[in-house]
Amino acid sequence: MIPFFNLQRQYFKDKNNIDLAIQDVLQSGRFIKDRKCMEFERKFAEYHGSKRCVSVANGTDALILALKACGIGRGDKVVTTPFSFFASSEAIVRVGATPVFADVEMSSFNINPEKMESLMTKKIKAILPVHLFGNPCRMDEIMELAKIKQVKVIEDCAQAFGSTVGNKKVGTFGDIGCFSFFPSKNLGCYGDGGAIVTNDEEAADKIRMLANHGSKTKYIHEDIGYNSRLDEIQAAILLEKMKSVENDLIARSSIAQMYQELLKDLDIILPSYADGSFHSFNQYTIRTENKEKIIEAFQKKNIGYMIYYPVSLNKQKAIPWALYRDETDCSNAEQLTSQVLSLPIFPELKVDEVEEIAKTIREVLT
């Protein structure tokens, strides 16, 4: 059996240090937003070259709180991608705004800046690009458009910790960068967790206040907020994992390069990314017209796989059709849903396992 992802391998690789970090928290008797969280926020901000980091309960909350801090609410519209995990649009709807879908590029899977300009009406108050699978969006063009239209940019970096454009890390181009620490992410905890980074200290203070029941001072509430706080055990785990995360990113990149070499001459479309950017490969996603045949072969050999995503967001019934019926078509996103297949990629994946996965695909396609 070759798993799609394996948290046991990850844990046992650094078991002693993780266990000691958890024991330290248990012995302290302090479990919510204490010294470990504060230390993690400092190091996470430092890693990104940002002035501030605020840790929260999960990546979805990070998006919601970022939108709220940017003043996005009822009657506003936000341009975003139709090809992403549901949270990117869910957060927009949660604050009372409307997602406006700009179609994606077939090559990168990311939102196409060229499709955005015609959508930029006066009701558009923000752009929410998603660095899908770890592949950075074309942020220079997105930021140029945002500057011209005077709108906020909130980056969804849930799958892209460690990705860069040039020497600049994703999450630091826009007004606020949002991260998830779901266990399968490039930097994941052992539960839910999230964070934002920003150079806007006023926005950071507002997010911190909103995440704590709208309170800066205990029992004094300035706003209706949320209960969205990273706990100390997860912060302690994240601090330990940050020590080895660069090596993990290198391992992901090496596995991706193996796939690129082993699969290059087959009738499938491999991941691509722009020169000068670093794709952190939270997922390795191919495009193929033979998806069902490959899946059948994987199932026979107990090889893990995932389909990210089987239904584009503009087709999800949870978002009423009336919200986007007057917007541009999302034909690329809709086409991708029938073609994409994600292969196992995680730092502890073995070379012989990568070779077996590639061999299985080759047997199907040749």
Q: Is the pLDDT of residue 327 over 70?
A: no
Q: What is the mean pLDDT of the segment spanning 292-303?
A: 98
In the chain, list all ranges with CATH 3.90.1150.10.
Answer: 245-365
Residues of the chain above pLDDT 70, percent: 98
State both tokens at 351: 């070379």
Backbone angles phi, psi at 151, to 5 degrees: -120, 160
pLDDT value at residue 196:
98
In the chain, list all ranges with CATH 3.40.640.10.
Answer: 7-102+110-242
CATH 3.40.640.10 correct for 7-102+110-242: yes
Q: What is the mean pLDDT of the segment spanning 142-154?
A: 98
State both tokens at 18: 């993780």
pLDDT value at residue 319:
83
The CATH architecture to which 245-365 belongs is Alpha-Beta Complex (3.90)
The pLDDT mean for the chain works out to 96
Q: Is the pLDDT of residue 284 over 80?
A: yes
Q: Is the pLDDT of residue 326 over 60?
A: no
Q: Are 197 and 53 in contact (CB under 8 A)?
A: yes
Q: What is the mean pLDDT of the segment spanning 63-85?
A: 97
pLDDT value at residue 323:
60
Query: Cα separation of 310 and 182, whole Å?
Result: 20
Question: Distances in Å between the alpha carbon of 307 and those of 41, 149, 249, 356?
Answer: 33, 35, 22, 20
Q: What is the mean pLDDT of the segment spanning 81-104?
A: 96
The residue with tokens 């050999």 is 301
Q: What is the mean pLDDT of the segment spanning 163-188?
A: 98
Best CA proximity match to 204, nearest among 41, 37, 40, 31 = 41
pLDDT value at residue 145:
98
Strand ranges of the sheet holding 98-101, from the earlier edge strand across to the other edge: 52-56, 194-198, 176-180, 152-156, 124-128, 77-80, 98-101
pLDDT tens per residue across span 311-324: 999 999 898 755 65
The pTM score is: 0.97
Q: Are 249 and 280 in contact (CB under 8 A)?
A: yes
pLDDT value at residue 148:
98
